[in-house]
């Protein structure tokens, strides 16, 4: 390796970017979640409430993904961008399980059963979008760096 070659990327950069991405989107979810559960679900039903919340979460993902890649200084490539999304998804699921256990008194079975409902299917779709959004938005992050 000569002196003009950049230093290899540290694995912690992807984790740092994933933490940023997770935190930005999770904050939006923390703001929207209580409104959905307390007001929209009793009025419109769980599936419609989740369906109404989903575009706001996807919008948060749209903006947070390139920011996290840029702020985390992740060397861009499809595998690294996807890795950031997968790491963020793991963090999100750990947080979601903790909220379900601690605040809502749900069991693991309750949380897994939720995915078999229409609202759970919508939620599962948003999780897939969450995981792949850094990859989808990678080009935008490349152009702004």
Residue 2 is predicted with a pLDDT of 47
Indicate whether 133 belongs to any domain: yes
* pTM for the full predicted model: 0.84
Residue 6 is predicted with a pLDDT of 46
Indicate whether 25 belongs to any domain: yes
Residue 142 is predicted with a pLDDT of 55
Indicate whether 137 belongs to any domain: yes
Residues ≥6 apart with Cβ < 8 Å to 8: none
Indicate whether 4 belongs to any domain: no
| CB distance 31 to 103 below 8 Å | no
As for how many domains the chain has, the answer is 1
Indicate whether 84 belongs to any domain: yes
Question: In terms of C-beta distances under 8 Å and separation of at least 24 residues, what long-range contacts does 120-125 make, across chains too?
Answer: 122/47, 122/50, 122/51, 122/54, 123/50, 125/54
Residue 67 is predicted with a pLDDT of 95
Indicate whether 3 belongs to any domain: no
Question: Per residue of the chain (145 residues), what is the pLDDT tens digit?
Answer: 444 444 445 668 999 999 999 999 999 999 999 999 999 999 999 999 999 999 999 999 999 999 999 999 888 788 999 999 999 999 999 998 998 888 778 888 988 999 999 999 999 999 999 999 999 998 655 555 5
Tokens matching residue 47: 């599936």
Residues ≥6 apart with Cβ < 8 Å to 107: 101
Residue 4 is predicted with a pLDDT of 47
Indicate whether 2 belongs to any domain: no
CA distance linking residue 107 with residue 109, whole number of Å: 5
Indicate whether 1 belongs to any domain: no
What range defines the domain where residue 104 resides? 13-144
């Amino acid at each position: 390796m000569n002196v003009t070659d950049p230093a290899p990327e540290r694995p912690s950069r992807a984790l740092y970017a994933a933490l940023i991405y997770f935190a930005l989107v999770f904050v939006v979810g923390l703001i929207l979640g209580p409104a959905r559960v307390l007001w929209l679900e009793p009025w419109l039903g769980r599936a419609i409430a989740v369906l109404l919340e989903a575009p706001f979460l996807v919008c948060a993902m749209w903006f947070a993904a390139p920011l996290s890649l840029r702020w985390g200084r992740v060397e861009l490539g499809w595998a690294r961008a996807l890795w950031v999304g997968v790491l963020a998804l793991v963090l999100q699921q750990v947080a979601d399980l903790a909220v379900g256990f601690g605040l809502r008194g749900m069991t693991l079975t309750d949380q897994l059963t939720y995915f078999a409902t229409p609202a759970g299917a919508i939620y599962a779709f948003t999780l897939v979008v969450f995981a792949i959004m850094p990859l989808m938005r990678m080009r935008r992050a490349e152009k702004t760096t």
